[in-house]
Chains A and B, each alone.
Chain A
Amino acid sequence: MTLATALFLLVLFVVTLTVAAYSTYAERKVAAFLQDRIGPDRAGPFGILQPLADGTKMFMKEDFIPAAANRRLFTLGPAIAMITALMTGVVIPWGGELTLFGETFRLQGTDPEIGILFVFAIVSIGVYGIMLGGWASNNKYALLGSVRAASQMVSYELGMGLSIVALVMLNGTLSLGGIVEHQAAHGWNIIYQPLGFIIFLVCAFAETNRSPFDMPECETELVGGYHTEFSSMKLGFFLFAEYTNMFISSAVISTLYFGGYHVPGLDRLGLDPNLTTLIGTAAMFAKTFFFIFFFMWVRWSTPRFRFDQLMNLGWKGLIPLGIANVLITGTVYHLAELWKG
């Protein structure tokens, strides 16, 4: 690992945390605006220091561990949630190539051949944080929350995987950088994979436990769900992990279906390559932020599903649709190849 990569990862780490912190602020603002309110506006101008105030509050609160809890796992839970949430950003291409001091850097931590699978793998480990945390609390609501989280994530991973299969068939690569380049050459995947995109989007909502699929922390049924017993920064880590996951999911959606850092027509302007890269990165962030906004917009517009409805949708709706999508994509792709000769 070179110094440049290390530096890049550090920057990525800081950016991820900042975005996650400000997502909490954005969430409250968006919620307020959708409900004809103005939201937090006391800490600093327009309340932009609110995340700092929240963070300070979290740290100052008593860190309480219930007597009947399993202390080690109780601490391990939030840690796993946070670590896995922060890990996925490494493989996402945040931009193209940057030439500085005669050297070329890619604005991507690393581009393994199986980038998208890496994201999947890490997300599937992330569920342990919720499960262990909920179980270790020794609380029935927490346990129910974590059981729901586990079944929800395992179920929706299938639908998500199927939507990805079709996409990968089309792009011919599992590497995220490769997928972006393919889109730059052949047009964004959303054009070819609208159904796949919808499946992926719905699954992304379920995987990040966001409303309308926020069953694991469903307040009206389960008090606080898996984090009922958590307090102080342990709770903070769980909430933070949720927002980090949302950020990463938005970035993955932009990368997979909306061309990532690719801006149509930008290459033809003949700008300085470094400038092109920076604009691309800005575009990537703009797309990502739009999807973060979309996540929030949906959360404050729809009621929560019932758990059996959720499972029905996952198993009887999205998975068959995903399989159909794979079949259609394969057939059309093959026919197109034949037609081209």
Chain B
Amino acid sequence: MAALFYILAAISVISALTVVGARNPVNSVIALVVCFLSIAGHYVLLNAQFLAMVHVIVYTGAIMVLFLFVIMLLNLNKPGGPRKSLAMRLAAAVAGGLLFLTLAAAVRQGVAITPAAGFDPGVGLVRHVGQVLFTEFLLPFEVSSVLFLSAIVGVVMLAKKDKDEAPDPHITGPERARRTA
């Protein structure tokens, strides 16, 4: 088990670094997919199979597909990309350094890296996840679903056709007359 963990961890770290470092955006996406899969592997190691599968379905199967979709259509295949200005690079370095500092500080202070309570192998099972979601975390759960609802409504609004749009040229004859009337 421990060996498996280290292998997975190595894959996660390397693929995550590749995401940032890869020149070709498609390679970045693939690396990110690999990263997600290895993280799903971590979930399985923790016996949280439900979480692992949902993670794969949602992130790898849907979101990353859409990412890939967009990148393919944008044709960002040229290596390199525009040169960044010196000020931009400086800003990036400072921001990255600060983030690293914060993380380092947090890790240094968080002494208890070993789990405080005993690990319950049943914690990730469907039954347990459902129970917790619908009792302890009911409010956040419902609020987040409202969030999704608003997103859906927004999309529908964006996609809705204008009323006074030109009629469909494929519809001809009496049907067209009826619709335009």
Contacts and interface: CB of A to CB of B under 8 A. Distances in A.
A114 B53 contact: yes
A62 B68 CA distance: 30
B62 A157 contact: yes
A326 interface: no
30 contacts: A70-B26, A73-B26, A113-B126, A114-B50, A114-B53, A117-B54, A117-B57, A120-B53, A120-B61, A121-B57, A121-B60, A121-B61, A124-B60, A124-B65, A125-B37, A125-B60, A125-B61, A127-B61, A127-B65, A128-B30, A128-B33, A131-B65, A132-B26, A135-B68, A146-B72, A150-B69, A154-B61, A154-B62, A154-B65, A157-B61
A154 B66 contact: yes
B57 A120 contact: yes
A118 B30 CA distance: 20
Contacts of A128: 30, 33, 65, 68
Contacts of A118: 53
Given A73-B26, A157-B62, A112 B69 contact: no
A143 interface: yes
Contacts of B72: 131, 135, 143, 146-147
Interface string B47-59: 0011001101100
Interface string A144-162: 0011001101100100000
A176 interface: no
B108 to A, nearest CB: 37
B26 to A, nearest CB: 7
A121 B52 CA distance: 9
A184 interface: no
B50 A113 contact: yes
Contacts of A135: 26, 68, 72
Interface of A: 70, 73, 112-114, 117-118, 120-121, 123-125, 127-128, 131-132, 135, 143, 146-147, 150-151, 153-154, 157, 174
B13 interface: no
B125 interface: yes
Contacts of A70: 26
B112 interface: no
A150 B68 contact: yes
Interface string B33-50: 100010000000000011
Contacts of A73: 26, 30
A117 B57 CA distance: 8
B153 to A, nearest CB: 15
A80 B41 CA distance: 18
Contacts of A114: 49-50, 53, 126
A238 to B, nearest CB: 18
B50 A125 contact: no
A49 B59 CA distance: 43
B68 A131 contact: yes
B73 interface: yes
The 4 closest A-B pairs by CB, nearest first: A124-B61, A117-B53, A121-B56, A135-B72
A70 B24 CA distance: 11
Interface string B3-39: 0000000000000000000000010001001000100
Nearest to B54: A117
Given A125-B60, A154-B65, A157-B62, A132 B49 contact: no
A150 B126 contact: no
B49 A113 contact: yes
A174 B126 contact: yes
B56 A124 contact: yes
Nearest to A128: B33
A135 B61 CA distance: 17
A225 B49 CA distance: 36
Given A121-B61, A174-B50, 12 more contacts: A112-B49, A117-B53, A117-B54, A120-B61, A123-B61, A124-B60, A125-B37, A125-B60, A131-B68, A143-B72, A150-B65, A150-B69
Nearest to A116: B53
A128 B26 CA distance: 12
A252 to B, nearest CB: 15
A158 B126 CA distance: 20
Given A114-B50, A117-B50, A147-B73, A132 B30 contact: yes
